Each structure stands twice: as C-alpha cells, then as structure tokens.
Structure 1
Amino acid sequence: MDSFFDYSQKGDSFVRQLSSLPMPRSASNLNSDGEHRSSSGLVMEQSATSSTMSFECIEQLEALQKANAELGRKLIEVERTLENRLNEHDMDLDEMQGHLEELKSELTSTKQKEKEL
C-alpha cells in the first residue's frame, strides 16, 4: 500500500480534522430534488430518500400508464359495442318506419273502400 495514503503513520490529526468539518444543512439549501446545495451551487449531499422517491414515482408512473392503456382499450371496446347497437337500432327504426308506412297505406285503402260502399 502506498504510504502517501496511510494517514495513521502521519498521525490522525488530518483525518480528525476532516471528520469534524460540519456539513452545511438548512431548509433554505434544499433544491426541488431534495438535494443539499451550497451557495456556490455545488451538491453537498444527495439524500437516500430522493432516490427512493424517484423509484416510487417511476413505479407509480408505470402503474398509471398501464391503467391508462387498459382504460383506452376498454374505451375502444365500449365505443365499438355502442356503435354496433346504434346500427342495430337504426335498422330496427327503418324496418318499423317501413311497417308504419305499409299500415298507413292499408288504412288509407280501407277508408277509401268504405267510402265507396
């Protein structure tokens, strides 16, 4: 091992000084991602909760996209069913209107025959 990195031989004063440096933390130093930033704009520390939150947000987004796709498929199916029903009702209406015209014609014919008698 390189003796340059062996701090215990040179005394623990450097390690103790480095360990005792306070990390800046205040609510005003939080950015929108929950990371601590100094006034110089450098990231001082990234909290573990922000990465967990990102993972949870991604999972939630994927679940919402899956639900949205399923709802889209159901919408298409319902629209197709309604269109088929509408077409059936239109055919029934045309048939009933034709039958009504026949009955009106028969009624008119019957009234004329009664007048002739």
Structure 2
Amino acid sequence: MNKRLTYIFSLIFICSACYAEVSDKMPSNIENLLKAIIVGLFCGFLSWFRWWLGAIGVIVFILSVVGIVSLWQEVHMREALLHEQGWNYFGSLVIGSLFILVFTAAGAYMSLCRRKNA
C-alpha cells in the first residue's frame, strides 16, 4: 500500500518530458488528469460522507472551469499551448474537471441511497 502511494505521488509531482518554451512551465496532461482524479476522489469521499459536502466539490469544479476559461482567454498562452501540445492539453483539463464533478455527484448519490436504506 505504501509503495502504491509513493508511486502515485511521484507521478503527480515529478515533471514529465515537455516540448518547448511554454510546455515546460505548464503541467503535463498526465499530471492534470492525476491531480483531477485525486481531487475528485477526495470530493467524492466528502460527498459520500455527507451529501451536502458535495457543495465543496461543485465549488472546486466551478473554480477549475474558471481556470480553464481564463487560460483559454489568454491569447498568447492559448496559441503557444495549441502549437506545442495541441487540443489534447485543453481536452485533458476539461476531462479532469468532469472527473471532479462526476466523482462528487456519485458520492452524493451513494450518500443519499445509503441514507434511504438506513
């Protein structure tokens, strides 16, 4: 168990190979997705514990979407990222945000089902 956690955290915090000027300063696609999965699992656990704690996950999702839109609005960054990494970079950001929302909703649903059965 301890080795698995060490491996997961090393994947998150160790930068992977990047392409050029802008890409070496931005997290890679894998890092974006792993961070989103970890945050999503945490928010899902919170909403499973108490369904109303899912509001935290929704707030994190909204902040994530605002960050994506802000990155897209910056013309120079957008053009550089699209040139160096392509559409998949923004796709990984959107998919990561959706992970957070889906895990939060699933946790809240399981919490409500558990509450009805109790």
TM-score, normalization: structure 2? 0.28
TM-score, normalization: structure 1? 0.28
More strand by share: 1
Higher relative contact order at CA 8 Å, sep ≥6: structure 1 or structure 2?
2
Larger Rg: 1 or 2? 1
